[in-house]
Structure 1
Amino acid sequence: MKNKLVLNSIKRVALLGIVGFAVQLHAEILVILPETGPMSRAGLTIKQGILNASQASKNEIPLKFVNSDQIPIKTILKKEVNKKTEMIIGPLARPDVEVLVSTKPKIPVLALNEVYQSDKNVWQFSLSKNDDALALLDFIQNDKVTKLYIVREKGTETESINFLNALFSNFSGEVDPIDEMPKVIGRNEGILLLGTNNWLSSIPRLQEKRIYTQAIAIEEQKTLPKGMKFCDVPAIYEKEWKEVVKANKELPKSLAYQRLYAFGGDAWYIAQKFVLDPQIKTLSFNGRTGKIKIEGNRVERIPQCFERSKANLVPLYMFFERSKDVK
């Protein structure tokens, strides 16, 4: 009886492998990205992340890339979608995503930006500043901070406006924007510093507890003040993502584009999962850009947070989930 059960299990695994191979032969993923024009560098970086993740995967489903620069999305869909198209990745620009959602596509779409409109066949995935802010807010509140001072470098305010709005909307304590660093802070007070890495390094006598910053202040080969916490794309700092590390060594990019490269890799992973199993309803995995959770057509990304120790960056982990309704 036991041998029969083992044999049946082997048959099921083999059958799944055959089905997956058949899907690969008849499926195609259409990728819509800007490869020329003002958004080309971002689009090409995401494309390279998708390609490298696909090549590193055993499920090499054919990819069809289309340049979206100056071409209406409706035109692209009409011309490029065919019987083999099982999934669409993109577009990237927010106006293009809005148009795509309005078409109510019959084919599943992983859009690479977020808009207010929604559709049952469109998953919206992005490197939202809101995600970074909410992840950091978990640690601010876990540090029992009830009053948060905010100091911003003059001339850089626009770069942190979305991050601040997300924080203001969700922080239950008091927020106090100030122009200069406070000399002393209380036991349940913290400081959020928003500016460039050079500006952070120039601030004298920084305390070593309850100090926070945004990921845009991080620069390669430049250290942060001891004790500072921030949240970002884990693939930049953790060596387990071999194809990301290899790509950055072969063709070094700024951290902003390393994030987009990792973003492309996660987009590929999600898309191929949906192609191989069209009935999938939930998905959860530790991705290049953070912990990804999908339920229905909702995509949640939880970035990895870090704290600067004396010698290096230490990953931080929470013992609770931010969204109780997501499994």
Structure 2
Amino acid sequence: MKNKIVLNCIKRMALLGIIGFTIQIHAEVLVILPETGPMSRAGLSIKQGILSAYQVGNNNIPLKFVNSEQKSLKLILKQNVNRKTQMIIGPLARPDVEALIKLKPKVPVLALNEVYPTHKNVWQYSLSKNDDALALLDYIHHDRVSKLYVVREKGAEAESINFLNALFLNYRGEVDPVDEMPSVKGKSEGILLLGSNEWLSSLKKLQKKNIYTQAIAVNEKTALPKGMKFCDVPALYIAEWGDVIQAYKDKPTSLPYQRLYAFGGDAWHIAEHFVLNPKVKNLTFKGRTGKIKIEGNRVERIPQCFERSKNNLVAL
């Protein structure tokens, strides 16, 4: 009787192994990205990030890449979605995401941008400036700053408009936009500097506490002023994700596109998880682009914040 029970257990384990192997063999992930046209550099960077993360994994789930440029989403889905398609990553452009949602896809989709319309089968994941702003605001509140002066680089205001809008919508204190560097009084006041790295470097006699900026001011060649805080994709500063490092070694590029390597890596991690665990709807993990939390169809990304010390960056 005991031997029979053991034998049945072995059979069940073998069957589960076969089922898992069958899922990997028959599952296919369709990736829809622009590989030509004006968004091709962004699309190809995300693709590189997906492939780098894919290569370090152990699950040989087939990937199928399709160029979204100059093709309708309806035609792409008609020509490429079949019984093996278990997940779709993409598209990237906002109009394409909106078009895909209108098609009411039956296959789960991880869209790589955020739009207002939603659908039960579509997760929306992005490197939103709003996420960066919210993460930084948490630290501004933590520093007990109740009045925040905002100084923007003249001629570059468009670069920070989304970040600034998120600030106005979510900051609990007083916001005071000013044209010149203010004279800060007391520990309850801070300064948010929105502009390029070159502009920050040109500013004289900056205070050492309660100064903040956004990630676009980070430059690989010139360090930020001491004491400055910002929030960004952690994989650019913490050597924990070898696939992002390898992607950069294979194709060196600037910081904006390195962020997309990390973005592609996390997109693959999410898709792989849901293909292998289709009944599991929630997911939380420490990702390349920040802490990722998925509940239902909502993808929340919390970037990592850093402070410039005397010699390096310190993770907060």
What TM bracket, shorter-length normalisation?
Answer: over 0.9
Give the 3-state SS of the residue equivalent to 1:201 in structure 2.
Answer: helix
Give the 3-state SS of the residue equivalent to 1:115 in structure 2.
Answer: coil
1:205-233: CA deviation from partner (whole Å, max 9, x where unpaired): 11110000000000112101000000000
- Residue 267 (structure 1) aligns with: 267
Are positions 1:133 and 2:151 aligned together?
Answer: no
Task: Give, as a single letter, the amino acid of the residue that structure 2 aligns with 1:308.
Answer: R
| Deviation of 1:194 (Å) | 0.4
Q: Name the CA shift for 1:49/1:8 in 2 (closer, same or farther; >3 Å).
A: farther
- How far apart, in 1, do the equivalents of 2:263 and 2:9 lie? 36
| Deviation of 1:7 (Å) | 11
Q: Name the CA shift for 1:18/1:254 in 2 (closer, same or farther; >3 Å).
A: same
- Residue 149 (structure 1) aligns with: 149
| Deviation of 1:281 (Å) | 1.6
| Deviation of 1:21 (Å) | 1.9
Q: Name the CA shift for 1:315/1:14 in 2 (closer, same or farther; >3 Å).
A: farther
- How far apart, in 2, do the equivalents of 1:271 and 1:11 lie? 30
Task: Give, as a single letter, the amino acid of the residue that structure 2 aligns with 1:267.
Answer: A
- How far apart, in 1, do the equivalents of 2:169 and 2:89 lie? 31
- How far apart, in 2, do the equivalents of 1:189 and 1:306 lie? 20
Task: Give, as a single letter, the amino acid of the residue that structure 1 aligns with 2:76.
Answer: I
Q: Number of aligned pairs? A: 313
Give aligned-pair identity as a percent: 73
- Maintained 8 Å contact 2:283/2:294: yes
| Deviation of 1:282 (Å) | 0.7
| Deviation of 1:8 (Å) | 10
- How far apart, in 1, do the equivalents of 2:290 and 2:184 lie? 34
| Deviation of 1:250 (Å) | 3.3
Equivalent positions of 1:1-327 (< 5 A) are 16-316=16-316
Task: Give, as a single letter, the amino acid of the residue that structure 2 aligns with 1:310.
Answer: K
Give the 3-state SS of the residue equivalent to 1:64 in structure 2.
Answer: strand
In structure 1, stretches of 5+ residues that fail to align are 317-327
| Deviation of 1:59 (Å) | 1.2
- How far apart, in 2, do the equivalents of 1:120 and 1:289 lie? 24
1:19-78: CA deviation from partner (whole Å, max 9, x where unpaired): 332211000000000000000000001011111111111112100000000101011011
| Deviation of 1:139 (Å) | 0.2
Give the 3-state SS of the residue equivalent to 1:177 in structure 2.
Answer: strand
Structure 1-normalised TM-score? 0.92
- How far apart, in 2, do the equivalents of 1:80 and 1:244 lie? 29
Q: Name the CA shift for 1:285/1:17 in 2 (closer, same or farther; >3 Å).
A: farther
- How far apart, in 1, do the equivalents of 2:247 and 2:29 lie? 23
1:251-310: CA deviation from partner (whole Å, max 9, x where unpaired): 211000000111000000000111001111210000110000000010000000000001
Give the 3-state SS of the residue equivalent to 1:86 in structure 2.
Answer: strand
1:184-206: CA deviation from partner (whole Å, max 9, x where unpaired): 33220110000000111111111
Task: Give, as a single letter, the amino acid of the residue that structure 1 aligns with 2:295.
Answer: E
Larger deviation: 75-84 or 180-189? 180-189
| Deviation of 1:15 (Å) | 5.7
Give the 3-state SS of the residue equivalent to 2:114 in structure 1.
Answer: coil
In structure 2, stretches of 5+ residues that fail to align are none
- Maintained 8 Å contact 2:87/2:107: yes
Give the 3-state SS of the residue equivalent to 1:120 in structure 2.
Answer: coil
Task: Give, as a single letter, the amino acid of the residue that structure 2 aligns with 1:232.
Answer: D
Q: Name the CA shift for 1:117/1:226 in 2 (closer, same or farther; >3 Å).
A: same
CA RMSD, aligned part only?
1.9
- How far apart, in 1, do the equivalents of 2:124 and 2:9 lie? 36
Q: Name the CA shift for 1:16/1:285 in 2 (closer, same or farther; >3 Å).
A: farther
Task: Give, as a single letter, the amino acid of the residue that structure 1 aligns with 2:186.
Answer: G
- How far apart, in 1, do the equivalents of 2:311 and 2:173 lie? 32
Structure 2-normalised TM-score? 0.95
Task: Give, as a single letter, the amino acid of the residue that structure 2 aligns with 1:301.
Answer: R
Segments of 4+ moved more than 6 angstroms: 5-14
- Maintained 8 Å contact 2:48/2:247: no
- How far apart, in 2, do the equivalents of 1:107 and 1:48 lie? 24
- How far apart, in 1, do the equivalents of 2:161 and 2:64 lie? 36
Give the 3-state SS of the residue equivalent to 2:20 in structure 1.
Answer: helix
- How far apart, in 1, do the equivalents of 2:58 and 2:139 lie? 37
